[in-house]
Structure 1
Amino acid sequence: GVAAYFVRRTYDTGVHLKFKAPAPLPTLGWIILGLTAIVVIFGVLTTGAGPHSGSTISTRNNLDNIWITRLHAAPVWLLVIATISALVIARKKAQTAMIAPLIVLLIVEIAQGIIGYVQYFLGVPELLVALHMVGLSATIAASVAVLDSAYPRSTDASSDRSLSVVS
């Protein structure tokens, strides 16, 4: 998450603009990030309950795989609902800076959902578990991008606090 934030702020001049996205979009951004954290925690527990929780000598966490998978799915669905809600509101309020990150997050969530359900019904094949973990990184990065887009900054180098190089 921190790395995704740094990448998004690469060309940031450090000048805070005098506005942020209108309510409730910043709040929804924080909710999306919080739900992403919960999804990640339950995902780790789900992986630890399954057959691919580490090396062959690693012990499992002894959680019931079916129940922990269902518990993992609950915050995932809440995350999807929050993302769709934020996207609808962003479009309604013409918050163009938030629309693209929200669409990317929704696409990542859909892809993750497809991978998650397919891996569950196919008996958790190792390749799909690996793809789901790659998708985890994309989910975190996309969630950070959504929150960051609710608090825009100037990238205009001519702004009064921009850095200048002295020779």
Structure 2
Amino acid sequence: MLFILSIFSVSVAAGGYADKPTAQASELSKKYVMADESAKPSVLQDFDHLARDNPDNVNVIRSYTSILSSRGEYEKAISLLEPVNKARNNPSLLLQECMLKDRINDGDAACYKHVISLSERSGSENMDYLMALFFTDDGRFEAEMKKLAASNPSLSRDFVIFDQDKRQLLLSLYP
């Protein structure tokens, strides 16, 4: 469970949180991870209210949808991600939406290609970009993986996830 918190914790600005909803999302994430099963529904209800009150706050949506995804509530996570992704151009959140749709067999390559396009336009050729290349069987995948490994050697150990086929990778991220 602590893994969920470490993966899905929200960004912290120097000296504190960027805003109050982000701080609340961080606290709810911690509370969820530490809660026993009987207390989790209450935390999720609080998170749901926070997300509905702050539909444009990327940190709140990312945290909540990550917890929902970890619980297998893929459709609900998608329903929260779609409006945010229509209003914003956030490659990371869009990749999450693409992968969740793919997980429930409702994905398409165009979604991943949009992630690639957004990443290239913003110069964010990172692990999310590489993941989108992988899921579209893009011919640039191997070269971009080598380039990313050269610029950030600590990521090299993360590349073992690409030893799996696409379905196995999705199932490992979203069981």
TM-score scaled by length of structure 1: 0.31
- Higher normalized helix content (fraction of residues): 2
TM-score scaled by length of structure 2: 0.30
Q: Which is greater in Rg?
A: 1
